[in-house]
Structure 1
Amino acid sequence: MGLLAIWSVVVAVTMSQSKPDWDRIMRSAHEPTEERVGDIRCAQVQLSDPAAAPTRGFRLAWQGAIVAAACMLVALAWIGAYGTLRVQHAETLARVEGEVGNKALILEEQLRRQLLTIDQTLRILEAAWQNDPGHFDLSAWSRQLVMLTDASLQVFVADKRGIVWASTRPEIIGNDVSGRDYFRHEAALPTDDGKMFISTLVQGLTTRQWQLNLVRRLDRDGDVFAGVVSASYDTAALAQFYGKVEVGARGLIGVVSTSDGGLRTLVGPVPAEPNANIAGTPLFAALQASPNGQWLGPSAPDGIERIHAFRSVPDRELAVLVGVDRDEALHALMIWERGAVVFAACITVLALLMTWLLLREGRSARRREKALAHDSAVLAEANARAQAKAAQLEATLSGMTDGVMMVDADLQLVAWNQHFPEFTGVPPEMLQVGLPMEVILRAQAMAGEFGEVDIEAEVTRRMARLRTGGSTGTIERTRPGGRVLELRRNPVGDGGFVTLYTDITTRRQTEDRLRQAQTMASIGRLTSGVAHDFNNLLASITGNAEMLDRDLHDDPVHARRITIILQAAERGAALVRQLLAFARKQALAPTRVDLNGVVRNMSELLRSMLGPTIRIETHLGAELWPALADPIQIEHVILNLAINARDAMPDGGQLAIATTNEDLGPAGATPDLPVGSYVVVSVADTGTGMTEEVLSNVFEPFFTTKPPGKGSGLGLSQVYGVATQSGGGVRIDSNIGVGTTVKVYFPRAIAGSGVVPDAVINPPGGTAGRPAQDAPGPGGCKVLLVEDDPSVRETVAAMLSASGYTTIEMEGGREAVQLLENGLRVDLLLVDFAMPDMNGAEVARIARRSQPSLPVVFMTGYRDEERISGERWVLMKPFLTPALAKIMRDALERTGDTRGTVWSPIRKVS
């Protein structure tokens, strides 16, 4: 309509120039008027019938003017359509290239992380082999480490001849890999280059699966080649993962070697043959020219025209290739382009038709007036729609949670919303259209938004960057109050720019909590494996030391050394419990606990332990709720916090222990401490305090600021683990030079809620040092002992003999089951829970088929609540003879009792 209006004006102007007495002939014509509605300017022209018919010469001139105006309209329509098409094509192509680039970046990051994970795992295995080649056990490491990613097939070790002698897949042991490129490469190196080598695509000698081998060299005695440790990377799994990424029906995703052009994997409409190569193709030439760029051209191997994005994997000579079919990606644009061409063609036809009508009806003023009136109505409607859209845009900006600011090419404020001053520290009252950006930056600097800086120097620096265009893009900034903002600054066509301010504080906090959860999960997996093996060693040490004590207790020298051995074993067991506490995998015994009573009972112990230079105050809450927690662990929590407070006050000070009830509502709750009722014990000191850096790492195991030998770094880790495993949490408030307050939250014990029986809370047993003698078990009782560890089995058998039991020893579960199925009758089954091939629970289940009332006592170095829950008698390693005899008697006498008992005989209880 706008073009038609312009065309009408051109016609009118042409007619006025072609006939000097036009005013006399068209005296009722009106001058064009301009009306501004919002930001739209509309030309309105009204014409009425001429008073007299024009002459023949004037009519010819008028007809020529009409034709010229029609030609001009057609030319403008096609020029406008061409310009719009060009802009739309460029924007659409840029958007598609951006999407393809983002997918390539995501896939490259995923591949890079998988390769880094495998490289780190191989480094660990290489270091383990280098430390002790003769005792290197790959299977043991595979149980203790998160070995590889889901795309990995196996890990194996080959000697210097290329013979595989260890593998996570036993069927490949003995294979000869000396002919493989990776083995020849590592063997040919004069020394270890310290890098992981990635092989070409090969088929496994046994699995026949296509794979990449990732290899690190093993050296002995310096630089003497001793073999390789390798992980096999499953390209089929990689292709399956890439196949889930949406790139369209004719898109492709591949991993390419940047050195030789070999396709390591390819997902697309035409799957590549193994060891396919694209070297020499335009696609590979484009990749080498720009390893992290874009390219539009024919793909290899099918030759389809695609929009490609490349992202190289650093230091791996690999690149991720993503390509989308050009026609598919630009299909909507092509439809739009056809529509634009059709629209321009329609304008052309309309112009020609209107020209014909005007030439035919040139003398009809009534029709002209009606047509112009109709055009005016259309323009008015368009103006109304424009005003409505402007109102919608203003409402949208006002409703945005982001702050928005727009400046023009002169760096002066044009528009903003109500969140802009909130996110920038600029007073709202000073904002006005035309405000220079320099004034805004100065107000921010004075408000401390840029930290402690020289205000004028900082303003000058930032203005210089704005004038040179160096401040576009996305950055993050932390405000003085701790809020984290994401700033996205994008240029606009007139030379100015728009800045969006987004509050991402919650997102960053969530990411931090996720990283902490992942750290704890990794430590938990490592701790579980260490706890089982370490407690087995301690069980053998403590049992044999106890038996030596019986024979040598009259010799003071030997008795003292045995006491030292038992005390060291107790410290080792305590260390394992501390690690399990942090990983939230220790067995707790929750019950209703009076925190006020616990604090009162510990007062004298704390005073004697902290010394006279520290003044202890207690503030016990009135009508304190009972807490649901393990009372022994609560004592450990308070002791750990008191010791940390003492170390923070080397010159003395004040220690305040307080208890209180606290209801956390939605405002005070966090993902670590959900809404609920808690009983809180707090320990406050007047010590040196902690920095922000220390606070961010304070719960990490083995993190300590104390000098060597002064602390293990597990104290606060154990506090955190006990609190979170109990269903609570920990909050710390610390100021340098003022002191630190640690608040430990335990859930409130609700009346009627189930708690663990008292037998779990106070397990009987000896302590480290000289064991308490206990009466032996009934003579003649026959015990079937099943334990896969020879040293532990021998030690436990000696303990049973010393307690008066007849013992039948079995190394594995299957041998024990075979004896029972052949008719062996025993009075009690003493079985290790974690055994290869068949665990203790399976042995007990089969044994109870023939003897339903057979009492079963489980031994375990690590209590897995999910797998061992519900069992009656569980004996935690390490243990001494009195504890073993006690639980044996209890199992024999109370077979019909369903109440469970957990024994921890090395642990001191109060």
Structure 2
Amino acid sequence: MSEHNRTAAIEERRFRLLIDAVVDYAIYMIDPDGIITSWNSGAKRFKGYEKNEILGEHFSRFYTPDDRAAGLPQQALDTAINEGRFEGEGWRVRKDGTHFWSHVVIDPIIDTNGQLLGFAKITRDLTDRKMAEETLKQSEQQFRLLVQGVTDYAIYMLSPEGRVSNWNQGAQRIKGYLPEEIIGQHFSIFYTPEDRDNGEPQRALEIATREGRFENRSWRMRKDGTRFLAHVVVDAIRGDTGTLLGFAKITRDVTEAHEAQVALEKTREALFQAQKMQAIGQLSGGIAHDFNNLLTVILGNLEIVQKRVGDDARIGRLLENATQGALRGVSLTQRMLAFARRQELKTESVDIPQLVQGITGLLRSSLGPGIRIETRFPEGLEPVLADNNQLELALLNLATNARDAMPEGGCVIIAAQPQVVLEQSHATLAAGRYVCLSLTDDGEGMDASTLSSARDPFFTTKGLGKGTGLGLSMVHGFIEQLGGRFVLKSEKGHGTTAELWIPVAGEGAPSRSQSRSAEPITVPRLSVLVVDDDSLVLTSTSLLLEDLGHRVVSATSGNQALKLFDAGEVIDLMITDMAMPHMSGAQLAHAVRLLKPDLPIILATGYAERLEGFAAQLPRLPKPFTQMNLVEIIARSMKRDTGRSG
């Protein structure tokens, strides 16, 4: 053997050893008919056959039955012959029958004469990669199905330029567009015209590109042109090299949540306002009660002094001035009691058009010539259940406020409309029929801060010494005590409307025409028991009664009064204060009624307490009272007791 041939043999042997040593690839030869003629270690490892088991076998045995039936083995060889190479992937079968995913390369081997000697076949096991791809594909498919199935969120992709590239069910439901209508459109179509003009769509993409994410809450447009409040998140999507591939956009319709939050805030504000008004009302009522006791003492003593001072004109003027000052205090406490809903009301059937007509002259003189008054009442307006005098006073208060809001003159409209509040409504009023009496001016109006405080007692914008700040609070308390509602509507520069929602009078409501005719008052001299825990009031009341010629027995508590009955004290009439510690006037009256069923009893009170049982039927003497008030209520009580006894 020549040296050249020996070297070639050595090289071929080395090459064969190299091929055989490769374990990551199956490398083997097949003849022109597809019979296996060589087998390396990698082929043995992949396919499980020993060399002596597989040499001489046809390579098609590695194919699945379906692929063999389809003629794929021969097609692979034909492709290698015709194109110089075959390359592909597919499932192959091991000796033990298991399948693996392979990457296959088949090269034809041609001699120098162009004759086909066979084929070189290289197979690589890509099962792990294939399974990973399948897993990823399945995961992506599941993710697409998940995203597509979401209906509460609009989830879609944008190109780097902002064009919609896909569209899920949630986007279709929330925004109203079908996929074929919106894919390819620029996402700015969802923005309001004003946001588009301000460049908001581009700003969102710029922030997402720069910071990786954009998030905000703002109004968006549906296909039908309606608006909804959207919570929006835009995330930038980048490739492995950092290239911007587009944006992922998630939109949620939060309109209902926003409206619920607004409603909750309004409810909280209304609750806070109600609690504030209740707390101030309790404070005002308590102050007014104590103040009424003081005024009862002052007015009572002034009345007695005035009767005994003689004809000294100077002293008479001083007493008259002191009395007028005390009466101003009475007016102040009445307004405070009105706000606290503790005033004495004489409810009756009131015809609103008739009431307004009756005070039109007073209104015109109060408002002045620069203000025009218009009235708008429908035909057949039902009467309301109200205190006629207090309702007149409320209208005068509102008219005065309207006048002050129109220093250059203007128009006041007094109107009324029937209203019905249903059971299922969210109004603070009880279900029933009402008349909404309104007074509207075209004056300066109030800003939100002033409007929220307008009904608070002692709040005023009129300057020092020009108002008590109790006008609107009195109206509020009066209407609430009637079972109605006081509503103020105002906007700065657009005037004010004050609404009084007043319950409609029932069939049996008394009217002003049913009032009793005046009769001469005659009262015999009586033995009167006066009960009050305030010694000043007790003394003042006793002096007024004694000045009328009555015999007075006094007690500072309910227990002390009962002891007088037990001791056999002769008593024709009892006047007791309502608010006393340990035993209230109502409790004392009940106990005395058991001892003396026919004894006339009068309840003196600084404000209108709610009473139940027989105490609610007793005559009530509002504080502060005059000597004439005592004469009238004693006469009424004695007459009433005589009628009941007979």
TM-score, normalized by the shorter chain, greater than 0.5? yes
Q: Does 1:684 align with 2:440?
A: yes
Q: Counterpart in 2 of 1:801?
A: 546
Residue 609 of structure 1 aligns to which amino acid in structure 2? S
Contact 2:521-2:635 at 8 Å conserved across structures: no
Q: Counterpart in 2 of 1:456?
A: 198
Cα distance change of structure 1 residues 764 and 839 upon mapping to structure 2, 3 Å threshold: farther
Q: 1:835 aligns with which of 577, 580, 591?
A: 580
Q: Counterpart in 2 of 1:864?
A: 609
SS in structure 2 at match of 1:894: helix
Q: Distance in 2 between matches of 1:478 and 1:864?
A: 56
SS in structure 2 at match of 1:865: coil
Q: Distance in 1 between matches of 2:311 and 2:179?
A: 90
Deviation per residue, 1:623-654 (Å, 9 max, x gap): 11111122122101210111011111112222
Matches within 5 A, 1:57-456: 59=95, 393-394=150-151, 397=152, 404-406=153-155, 408=157, 416-417=170-171, 432-433=182-183, 440-441=190-191, 443=193, 445=195, 456=198
Residue 485 of structure 2 aligns to which amino acid in structure 1? G
Contact 1:703-1:713 at 8 Å conserved across structures: yes
SS in structure 1 at match of 2:571: coil
Q: Distance in 1 between matches of 2:496 and 2:488?
A: 7
Q: Does 1:704 align with 2:460?
A: yes
SS in structure 1 at match of 2:385: strand
Contact 1:15-1:65 at 8 Å conserved across structures: no
C-alpha deviation, 1:459, in angstroms: 6.3
Q: Distance in 2 between matches of 1:664 and 1:430?
A: 49
Q: Counterpart in 2 of 1:901?
A: none
Q: Does 1:561 align with 2:561?
A: no
Cα distance change of structure 1 residues 848 and 648 upon mapping to structure 2, 3 Å threshold: same
C-alpha deviation, 1:855, in angstroms: 1.0
Q: Counterpart in 1 of 2:367?
A: 610
Q: Counterpart in 2 of 1:885?
A: 631
Q: Distance in 1 between matches of 2:504 and 2:101?
A: 93
Q: 1:783 aligns with which of 500, 512, 528?
A: 528
Q: Does 1:599 align with 2:356?
A: yes
Contact 2:293-2:624 at 8 Å conserved across structures: yes
Contact 2:341-2:480 at 8 Å conserved across structures: yes
Q: Counterpart in 2 of 1:237?
A: none
Deviation per residue, 1:105-134 (Å, 9 max, x gap): xxxxxxxxxxxxxxxxxxxxxxxxxxxxxx
Deviation per residue, 1:778-810 (Å, 9 max, x gap): 12x111111111111110000001111100111
Q: Does 1:499 align with 2:245?
A: no
Q: Counterpart in 2 of 1:516?
A: 273
Q: Counterpart in 2 of 1:576?
A: 333
Residue 583 of structure 1 aligns to which amino acid in structure 2? A
C-alpha deviation, 1:457, in angstroms: 6.9
Q: Distance in 1 between matches of 2:207 and 2:551?
A: 87
SS in structure 1 at match of 2:415: strand
Deviation per residue, 1:360-393 (Å, 9 max, x gap): xxxxxxxxxxxxxxxxxxx9xxx99997x88864
Cα distance change of structure 1 residues 551 and 511 upon mapping to structure 2, 3 Å threshold: same
Contact 1:589-1:761 at 8 Å conserved across structures: no
Q: Distance in 2 between matches of 1:619 and 1:678?
A: 17
Contact 2:205-2:214 at 8 Å conserved across structures: no
C-alpha deviation, 1:522, in angstroms: 1.3
Cα distance change of structure 1 residues 434 and 814 upon mapping to structure 2, 3 Å threshold: farther
Q: Distance in 1 between matches of 2:400 and 2:276?
A: 26
Q: 2:501 aligns with which of 739, 742, 745?
A: 745
Residue 788 of structure 1 aligns to which amino acid in structure 2? D
Q: Distance in 1 between matches of 2:47 and 2:339?
A: 92
Contact 1:573-1:878 at 8 Å conserved across structures: yes
Q: Distance in 2 between matches of 1:429 and 1:650?
A: 62
Deviation per residue, 1:710-732 (Å, 9 max, x gap): 22222222222222332322344
5+ residue gaps in structure 1? 1-12, 32-44, 81-378, 398-403, 447-454, 766-773, 899-910
C-alpha deviation, 1:886, in angstroms: 1.1
C-alpha deviation, 1:596, in angstroms: 1.2
Q: 1:694 aligns with which of 446, 450, 453?
A: 450
Contact 1:783-1:807 at 8 Å conserved across structures: yes
Contact 2:297-2:537 at 8 Å conserved across structures: yes
Contact 2:285-2:336 at 8 Å conserved across structures: no
Contact 2:212-2:236 at 8 Å conserved across structures: no
Contact 2:300-2:627 at 8 Å conserved across structures: yes
Residue 818 of structure 1 aligns to which amino acid in structure 2? K
Q: Counterpart in 1 of 2:117?
A: none
- State the identity %: 30
Q: Counterpart in 2 of 1:533?
A: 290
Q: 2:619 aligns with which of 873, 882, 896?
A: 873
Contact 2:204-2:234 at 8 Å conserved across structures: no
SS in structure 1 at match of 2:500: strand
Q: 1:29 aligns with which of 48, 66, 76?
A: 66
Cα distance change of structure 1 residues 529 and 672 upon mapping to structure 2, 3 Å threshold: same
5+ residue gaps in structure 2? 1-44, 69-88, 103-123, 238-247
Q: Distance in 1 between matches of 2:511 and 2:642?
A: 16
Q: 1:826 aligns with which of 568, 571, 586?
A: 571
Q: 2:390 aligns with which of 620, 629, 633?
A: 633
C-alpha deviation, 1:491, in angstroms: 8.1
C-alpha deviation, 1:463, in angstroms: 5.8
Deviation per residue, 1:330-367 (Å, 9 max, x gap): xxxxxxxxxxxxxxxxxxxxxxxxxxxxxxxxxxxxxx
Cα distance change of structure 1 residues 891 and 719 upon mapping to structure 2, 3 Å threshold: same
Q: Distance in 1 between matches of 2:603 and 2:423?
A: 44
SS in structure 2 at match of 1:656: strand
Count matched residues. 523
Contact 2:485-2:502 at 8 Å conserved across structures: yes
SS in structure 2 at match of 1:29: helix
Contact 1:614-1:646 at 8 Å conserved across structures: yes
Q: Distance in 1 between matches of 2:355 and 2:605?
A: 30
Residue 863 of structure 1 aligns to which amino acid in structure 2? A
Residue 739 of structure 1 aligns to which amino acid in structure 2? G
Cα distance change of structure 1 residues 731 and 64 upon mapping to structure 2, 3 Å threshold: closer
C-alpha deviation, 1:493, in angstroms: 11
Cα distance change of structure 1 residues 737 and 892 upon mapping to structure 2, 3 Å threshold: same
Contact 1:664-1:677 at 8 Å conserved across structures: yes
Residue 624 of structure 2 aligns to which amino acid in structure 1? P
Q: 2:558 aligns with which of 772, 795, 813?
A: 813
Cα distance change of structure 1 residues 852 and 510 upon mapping to structure 2, 3 Å threshold: same
Contact 1:645-1:687 at 8 Å conserved across structures: yes
Q: Distance in 2 between matches of 1:647 and 1:759?
A: 35
Q: Distance in 2 between matches of 1:829 and 1:594?
A: 38
Q: Distance in 1 between matches of 2:368 and 2:558?
A: 54
Contact 1:619-1:658 at 8 Å conserved across structures: yes
Cα distance change of structure 1 residues 62 and 656 upon mapping to structure 2, 3 Å threshold: closer
Q: Counterpart in 2 of 1:546?
A: 303
Deviation per residue, 1:844-895 (Å, 9 max, x gap): 2222232111111111112221468613111111111100121112112211
SS in structure 1 at match of 2:326: helix
Contact 2:214-2:235 at 8 Å conserved across structures: no
Q: Counterpart in 2 of 1:716?
A: 472
Q: Distance in 2 between matches of 1:875 and 1:764?
A: 19
Larger Rg computed on CA atoms = 2
